[in-house]
Amino acid sequence: MSNPGNPQQDLLAKALASVANAIFIADEAGKIVWINDAFSRLSGFSAEDVIGCTPAILNSGKHGAAFYTQLWRTILAGNVWQGEIVDQKKDGSLYTVDEIITPLFNEYGVITHFIAIQHDITQRKQESEREHHLAYHDVLTGLPNRLSFLDLQQQAISDARRTQHMIATLFVDLDQFKPVNDRFGHPMGDQLLVAVAERLRAAVRQSDVVARFGGDEFAVLLAKLPDPEVASALARKLLHSLSRPFVVRGQKLNIGASIGIAIYPAAGNDAEALLMNADKAMYEAKCQGGNSYHVYDTVLTQDVGTESPVPAAPPMEQHRPANR
């Protein structure tokens, strides 16, 4: 692009070549005719690699055909397009850019070229994703945390309203965890919690959600429940799994769990209510000596003095697993 006979054009060419942002210029057919050094550093492609190619050489597969159709429709109409694009480097790795594509016109108002300026935001996006992950996940186990669980539970409730399905929330509180912490210390207790998380994940369906709320409290979300007995069966399975000894740092550790079950819609119409009632049912199981599960019913509502009328209902079920 350098033109020694025209100082202004030469200055412009040097400026474009030297700026920190990646820049490429394509002709009216979309074929790349020029790139700057920053583009090569960012993408890994040299001028020889891309001159004569379309920007499709950068496609990462992260955007559908509709995305690119809208982009081209915008710039072919003579308008500026701006947005985030995930591109693919020459080595196959992905990077994210904030890109502005501007049409260039000749003296007759006809589009002759497009200039694309890319600002690399990969690191910023990664940091944002890490912050989001930390906000919605338990640091120790990597499981969703309470905030994430409530969001997912509310989504499941919204779906259940449309499809007339039930969902179940299981509140799991470990028995005999505190003595482990007191005797062996928090590092041992943390490793035990990680092992508990792994067993819970292994026991549920892929579509189910396992979360940790902190301490020794976990929760499980079952969406599109065909029958309440499915939740009870899972509770028995979890009790059986958690009753098997854990071996941490060569030490055999025996714990158990108390589990409360709340079924939507009978036990609550929103995420907070459903979780609160599962928690109440869990405490009923713990008050009976632990290593058991309870299914929430309106008897508990009566106990806590709800203002709504309480229909007649059988006593809350209290269950212990069969001999294992």
Distance CA 146, CA 110 (A): 57
Distance CA 207, CA 222 (A): 8
Q: Which residues are catalytic?
A: 216
Cβ contact 94:88 at 8 Å: yes
Nearest to 261 by CA among 278, 239, 241, 249: 278
User: Which DSSP string do the residues of 155-193 spell out, in sequence order?
Assistant: HHHHHHHHHT-EEEEEEEEEESHHHHHHHH-HHHHHHHH
Phi-psi region of 52 (alpha: psi -120 to 50; beta: other; left: phi over 0): left
Cβ contact 143:210 at 8 Å: yes
Query: What tokens were used for 126?
Result: 């990664």
CA distance to 184, 189, 291, per residue, from 251 (Å): 10, 12, 21
Cα pseudo-dihedral 135, 138, 143, 144, rounded to 10: -40
Nearest to 175 by CA among 251, 233, 250, 243: 243
Distance CA 292, CA 236 (A): 8
Cis peptide, bond prior to residue 265, ω within 30 of zero: yes
